[in-house]
Amino acid sequence: MLDVRNLQKIYTGRNRSVEALRDLTFHIGAGELVCLVGPSGCGKTTLLKCMAGLIDPTDGEVRLDGRPVDGPPPGMAVVFQEYGRSLFAWMNVRDNVALPLRRKKLGKAREKELVDHALEVVGLADAHQAYPWQLSGGMQQRVAIARAVAFEPKVLLMDEPFAAVDAQTRAELEDLIRRLWRELGVTVLFVTHDIDEAVYLGQRTIILSTS
């Protein structure tokens, strides 16, 4: 379903080039939950951005269902580590979750159905009128996850989404992701620096190392 082939990414600046990824190849099958694990600076976030079509690789390619990814694919959603920056403080929870659906022009009834379901599955049905700044860090990340769920993606990419929450909240969110993966049948790539988290969450683990 999702193929990374001979991927390379070089960042070039003034009198300096940095190779973030080198000749990386792997395959993720439909419905898999795969963890990508590695230390800081090994290119995890760069890889995820290439896979999401947010940046272009220097060489190699990413394919989704056999088609090259040359921009954000319609069947893919991303949950970022810095959830606070991905939520709009002046919008309530419901509007934050509904925002990506506006471009789909689904109609108000269908949009409400998707948002209600997403908030229900992440345990925030009673918080739909709250604003992000009124919520804990763990609840804000649940809003970000709900927004991805409402989008009905075939593929969900998650970039160290629990790095900024406490241990108890992290454990609860890990259980949430496993439950959503089983219930929704979505393909998940979960990026983390924690090998224990990767072993707990994933069916399979891909390990990146620094160059």
C-beta of residue 159 within 8 angstroms of C-beta of residue 141 = no
pLDDT at 11 over 60: yes
- For 196-205, what is the mean pLDDT? 89
Q: What is the pLDDT of residue 16?
A: 86
Q: What is the pLDDT of residue 211?
A: 54
Residues ≥6 apart with Cβ < 8 Å to 101: 111, 114, 115, 150, 151
d(CA 125, CA 182): 20
- Using a 10 angstrom Cβ sphere, with 0-12 exposed, 13-18 middle and 19 or more buried, the burial of residue 35 is buried
Average pLDDT, the chain: 90
- For 25-48, what is the mean pLDDT? 92
Q: Which two tokens stand for residue 54?
A: 């947010």
C-beta of residue 9 within 8 angstroms of C-beta of residue 58 = yes
Give the pairing of strands 33-37 and 187-192. parallel
How many angstroms separate the first and last alpha carbons of the chain? 28
- For 34-62, what is the mean pLDDT? 92
* pTM, rounded to two decimals: 0.89
- For 75-102, what is the mean pLDDT? 88
Q: What percent of the chain has pLDDT over 90?
A: 59
pLDDT at 152 over 60: yes
pLDDT at 43 over 80: yes
Q: What percent of the chain has pLDDT over 70?
A: 98
Q: What is the pLDDT of residue 52?
A: 94
**Domains of the chain: residue spans and CATH:** 2-207 (3.40.50.300)
Q: What is the pLDDT of residue 106?
A: 84
Residues ≥6 apart with Cβ < 8 Å to 162: 141, 169, 170, 173, 174, 192, 197
Q: Which residue has the higher pLDDT, 82 or 167?
A: 167
Q: What is the pLDDT of residue 104?
A: 82
d(CA 56, CA 109): 37
pLDDT at 85 over 80: no
Q: What is the pLDDT of residue 54?
A: 94
